[in-house]
Structures are given as structure tokens and as C-alpha cells.
Structure 1
Amino acid sequence: MKNILVLIDNSINSHHLALSAMNVALKIEANITLAHAAKKNSTEEAQQEFGVENLNEREGLDAIAYEVDIAVKKTGSLIKIYCLMYNGSVIDLLAEKTNDGEVYLVIIGSHQSGEWEKVMFKTQMQDILENIGCPLLVIPKQFIVKDIHQTIFAVDLSIGYKKALRYVVAFSAPFGADVLVNHISKLGFPEKPSEEDLYNEVNLNLDPNLPSVAFHSIRSTNVKTALLETIEMGKVDLLCLVHKNYNFLSGLFHRSVSKQLADNASVPIMVLQESL
């Protein structure tokens, strides 16, 4: 069975993350691990203080897990809920737990509303993308994933995208969601190959047992703005992007538009590695 890892910090938003994970897990039939990472302390005295704080954090984690487990049992599902207290940083946790193929998806929440938290989130996001070994789903603050009707897979077709697309199609299928591939290019789609040829290319390597995907090329001099406009039009429930160092997505998380997408997006964003 698949495994979903959810990063919990025992904030109010943690309940929304846990419920989102439950709704996703019920659809794709996956077990859930609710994980809380606490930074290591260097001195024995600090470690003793950490132990007391750690106990309170564990109680909060267990309480969330208990609520989710009760909700799951009411559905009759056999998926399991686990807890993980990790003595280390979030980055350490992801590097250790997500690079062996055992974790199907990691779910995290976006930042809190303060300016300092926004800066920290952007910095941590880049570190996460460099260390995570599986797709990442970023849930907006106080958002609960329920149904997914439309998935947009935005990608520059010049990079490796086929494995990531297969993942997105397989993930979206249990929701009955339509998948639309948006070819992102400042120049728009080229005359050759034609848009029809690109559509055929996109669908060529997909599982024939799953629905085919639609194809659209974003014709805009500012691709980032076009993506934001797509989200704002309310025609997407999940936006999927492929991460590659120094490419379009890397720029998203370093420039002002990254703040709009990662910090203020009104829909969940899934980030997938090119090497998936």
C-alpha cells in the first residue's frame, strides 16, 4: 500500500493538513504517517528541556492522529494512521525518509501570515525541494482537500516530464479529475511540431487504462502571470509543477511570483522532480 508522509507542527493548520491527507489517502488507498520534526539540541541540559517540550508535542501529534483514525474507521477503510516523532530538522527528516521509494507523497502546509514566517517558508521550501525524494503537495493555510475535479500539469516540454506526468495522471484518476497539460513557454507553442502532435506526444507514454489528458499551450509573454490568472479563474483544483534547479520552477520560488504562488495560492500545489 502507498504511504503518505504529513509534516505536522501542532498548529491550528495541522488539523487541516491531517484531514486533507485523510481525504487523499481514502481516494488513493494509502497509509498515513503524521510526522513532527524537532531540531536536535547540542548540550545535555538543552536535551533535558527538549525532552519535556517533546512530550507535549507528542501528545499533540497523538491527539491529531486519534481524531483522523476515528474518522477513517467511520468510512470502513482499512488504511492505517501512524505517528513519527523525529529528532532532527524537517530537511533531515525528508532526506532520510523520502529517498528510498517508500513514501509516495509528502504533504506540508504553507506559511503562517507573518512576514518573518513568509521569509522562512520561502527559504525552507528551496531546501525541501533539494532534499526531498518524492512528490510534494503544498496545502494553503486553512484549506482542506476534498474533491479534485481539474488538475493542471504546467511544464516546459523541453525538460524531462513524462514520469512526472504519469504520476499526476495516476494520482488524479481516483478523484475522477480531468488532467490538462499546460505547455509553458514564453514563446508559445512552435509551429512544428503542431499542437496536435504535442497532444499525441504527451499521451503516448501514458497508461492506456487511464484517461488521456488534454493539452493546451500558454500563449503569454509572462508565463507566471498566465498561471496565476488560470488559478484565479477558478478552473483548477490542483496545480502540478516539475522542479528542476535553475529552470522555470526554481525561478518561481526565488522571485516575487513565487510569493504569490507558494505563499498565497488558493489551491494546492504539487511539486514533482524531473528525475521522478
Structure 2
Amino acid sequence: MKKIIVPVDFSEQSEYAMKVAVSLSKKYGAEIFALHMLELNQAMITSSEGYHPEQMVFLIKLAEKRFDDFLQKPFLKDVKVTPIIKHYKVFSEVNEIAKKHEADLVVMGSHGADGLSEIFIGSNAEKVVRTSDIPVIVVKEEMTDFKIDRFVFACDFELENLSAFARAKQFAKLFNAELNLVYVNTPGDSFLSSADAYKRINKFLHEAKSTDEVSIHNDYTVESGVINYSENNGADAIGIPTHGRRGLAHFFMGSIGEDIANHSKVPVITFKIGDEQ
């Protein structure tokens, strides 16, 4: 792990994310790219009427000053941090910046049960996840010494998840973490008998050339199943697949993937399915 991107909005949660990145930086010698997206009204940027250039300059300078103050925090001492300011919000730029700098990871903050909306307003957090080709860690609480000894990866073991599974295995190997794989079986149309579930899982593991074992956890919902299994097994992080433009919704149906990120007490890492842009 050589390069980490941390979106910063000066909130407490982005500070939590930065502390996780610092912990990783010190362990792996990684450079941190602190990214701030200046929240200027798009009309202020594009319109020639009603706005004065000096107003834009003032707002930009103010953001730059706050950014500089943020990067002077004591916990950032002795860590290489490269600041990046974008003067408008285009969330696919996070992925573009990751590609440009060949980053390995994005670490971003979230307000827990209030949703991913506080730092990236509305559905913008999902937009970052959706467009990111590299893993994204969602952090909600302060973690001064971030480590992953036990890592749970949950998916439905359909073959389209092979690439996300491969990335999750690489992630676990990087952290020298124990990898626990889980399939959550729920009542209703998605229910599988044990025989059918293991048939699907064994086919997946064969294609993945993997000898890993998979646990089948029965629960009322996928969200509760993933979280309950992870808590019962003392997981330090939860991995889930995400499907490019369709975001977290593909495997987890609706907002379940986002709910897992919101309600989990441990960080959630998303891994992109396939190579779609």
C-alpha cells in the first residue's frame, strides 16, 4: 500500500478518516492525498452575471486556509500529506485522482446511523463508492490504532463477484488478516436450502481456485445477518461488493449495502465488481 486518498470536509468524521489513513501510512509508509472539494455554487463558477470574481477568490482562499489549518493537526506530524483542492463537486473525480496518482485505497468518513449523507450530501457517498475502482473504507468512529486482524467478506457467491472476492483476498493478505467468508440466507424468495447454497458456493470457490471455507448464516435480513455474523465473530472490518454504476444496490438490493455501512460498528470496505467504469 503506497498511496491513500482521504476526502476532507473539515468535519469530525473526516478527521476520523484521516487518523485511520495516518495509522495505515505509518505501518506501510504510504503517502496520503487529502482531497477537499470546494462547495461553490455551480452558477458562481459558470455565470457571468450576479457574481464577482473577487467573491470567488475570497471563498477559495478561505477554503484553502481552513484546509491548511486542518493539515496542521498534531497527529499529521511526520506523515507525508499532499493536499488537493477541487473547486467544484464532481464525485467521479475521486476515482480520476486515484487513477492519476495510482492510489491503493480511499478512506472516507460517515455519520453512522444518520446515513452517508453528512460528509457527501445526499447520495454522493454512494457516488464515490460507485465510481471507485479501488477499495473504499467507510469510517464512523475514532480509531487511533487502526488494524484488521479478522476480516469478514459477505456476498451472494454469484460468479460476477469473483473479481470483488479476489480484491478482498488481496486486502486481507495486505493486513495479514484472517478472512471469514459468509453467505447470508434469508426467508422468502431468496431462501436457499443448505444443499443449493453449498452447490452455489462450491461452484464459486472452484472458479476462484480457492480453498477457503464459507459460513452460511441464517437471519431475517441480509443487513442484520452480515452485521450479526461479523459481531459474533469479532470482525475488525466488513467487506461487501459494489457494482459500478449500480452502486451498492446490485447484490444487497435497495439500500441494504448502505444500511450495513451505516449501522455497522466496524469499518466497511467496498470492493468493485468487474472492471466497468
Q: TM-score range by the shorter chain?
A: 0.7 to 0.9
Do the aligned residues in 2 keep the contact of 1:139 with 1:269 (CA within 8 Å)?
A: yes
Provide the secondary structure at the position in 2 that maps to 1:251. coil
The 3 A distance-change label for structure 1 pair 105 and 89 is: same
For 1:75, the equivalent position in structure 2 comes to none
Percent of aligned pairs sharing the same letter: 16
1:16 maps onto 2:16 in alignment = yes
CA offsets per residue over residues 134-193 of structure 1, 9 Å max, x none?
221101133445221111110111142222222222222243311011123432465157
User: Aligned in 2, Cα 1:112/1:162: closer, same or farther, shift over 3 Å?
Assistant: closer
In 1: Cα distance, 2:83 partner to 2:193 partner: 47
**1:3 equivalent in alignment to 2:20:** no
Kept after mapping to 2: 8 A contact 1:239/1:267? yes
* Structure 1 residue 63: Cα displacement: 0.9
1:8–1:35: 8 Å Cα contact kept in structure 2? yes
Q: Deviations over 1:87-123 (max 9, x none)?
A: 2226153143135682211110012787995596552
Q: CA deviation at 1:38?
A: 0.9
TM-score for both structures, normalised by structure 1 = 0.77
Counterpart residue number, 1:198: 201
The answer for the alignment partner of 1:47 in structure 2 is 56
Q: Which runs of 5+ in 1 are unaligned?
A: 73-79
Once the two structures are superposed, residues 45-76 of structure 1 have per-residue CA deviations (whole angstroms, 9 ceiling, x without a partner) of 43123123123223224314x74242x5xxxx
Residue in 2 aligned with 1:37?
Answer: 37
Label 1:102 to 1:198 Cα distance change in 2 as closer, same or farther (>3 A). Answer: same
1:1-276 counterparts in 2 under 5 A? 2-40=2-40, 41-42=44-45, 43=51, 44-64=53-73, 67-70=75-78, 72=79, 80-89=80-89, 91-99=91-99, 102-111=102-111, 121=121, 123-144=123-144, 146-186=146-186, 187-188=191-192, 190-192=194-196, 194=198, 198=201, 201-202=204-205, 205=208, 213-233=212-232, 235-244=234-243, 245=246, 246-249=249-252, 251-253=254-256, 258-259=258-259, 261-276=260-275
Contact 1:34 1:61 in 2 (8 A): no
Looking at structure 2, the residues matched to 135 and 229 of structure 1 have their Cα atoms a distance apart, in angstroms, of 23
The answer for unaligned runs of 5 or more in structure 2 is: 46-50
CA drift at 1:267: 0.3
Q: Give the residue type in structure 2 aligned to 1:34.
A: A
When residues 121 and 272 of structure 1 are mapped into structure 2, their CA distance, relative to the original with a 3 A threshold, is: farther
Give the alignment's TM-score, normalised by structure 2.
0.77
CA distance in 2, matches of 1:117, 1:173: 31
User: Which letter maps to 2:255?
Assistant: L
The alignment's C-alpha RMSD in Å is 3.3
Distance across 1 between alignment mates of 2:253 and 2:221: 16
Instruction: Write the distance in 2 (CA, Å) between the matches of 1:2 and 1:170.
Output: 14
Q: Which is further off, 180-189 or 107-116?
A: 107-116
SS in 1 for 2:58: helix
The answer on whether the counterparts of 1:106 and 1:135 sit within 8 Å (CA) in structure 2 is yes
